[in-house]
Amino acid sequence: MMPRVKLFDKEEALKKAMELFWEKGYAATSLSDLTRHLGIGKGSFYATFNSKRYLFDACFDVYRNTNVPLLEQLLNSEPNVKIGLQKLLEFNLEHLLSDGKHKGCFMANSCSEIHGESEVLLGKLVEHYNNVEQILVAYLKGGKIKPKKAESISAMTLTFLIGMSQQSKINRDRINYLGSIKHLVGMLN
């Protein structure tokens, strides 16, 4: 008997599934939604992903593994921490406002929807946000910002990014966000 050949690209399927979870949320995304969106049958779905939860967790990991290096690359490309922080915040703003579906941030959405349902996922969320905050702290300290101030501004930056991602779903006022970014970056003086 010949082994069955998968007729789809698993990495591409993960990206498509992540977009669907991002748009609809975990709870509102059904197995039928997933198989239709991915263009695969239920047998292929279960053979590859085991369950909706396993697929969601895999999408979560893809998001983290894609966005953390992007964050580091963006910051490391700018030695001036004031300009670098502003670039990061404006890059995030443009990403949020260019999304015609107003999805916000996959991580922030996941945090609010899944919190309390999965200890493993909660641990991954905490780990992700701690990692992002430590990257920001190290970047700011490398720019000669005092450690306590770097920690404070990093925490505020993370809170601002999460808040902006949620607020951008309903408030698309670029000028207002840019003003807030200017104030946050001004704290580096």
- Structurally, the chain folds into a number of domains equal to 1
Give the single-character DSSP code of 5: P
The percent of the chain in helix, strand and coil, each rounded to the nearest 5, is 75, 0, 25
**Residue 5: predicted pLDDT:** 47
What distance in Å separates the CA atoms of residue 22 and residue 12, rounded to the nearest whole number?
15
Please indicate, yes or no, if residue 120 is contained in any of the structural domains. Answer: yes
Question: Domain containing 77: what range?
Answer: 57-186
Give me the CATH number covering residue 134. 1.10.357.10
**Residue 2: predicted pLDDT:** 46
**Residue 62: predicted pLDDT:** 95
- Over the chain (189 residues), the average pLDDT of each successive run of 10 is 60 95 94 95 93 94 95 97 98 97 93 78 91 98 98 98 96 97 97
Please indicate, yes or no, if residue 102 is contained in any of the structural domains. Answer: yes
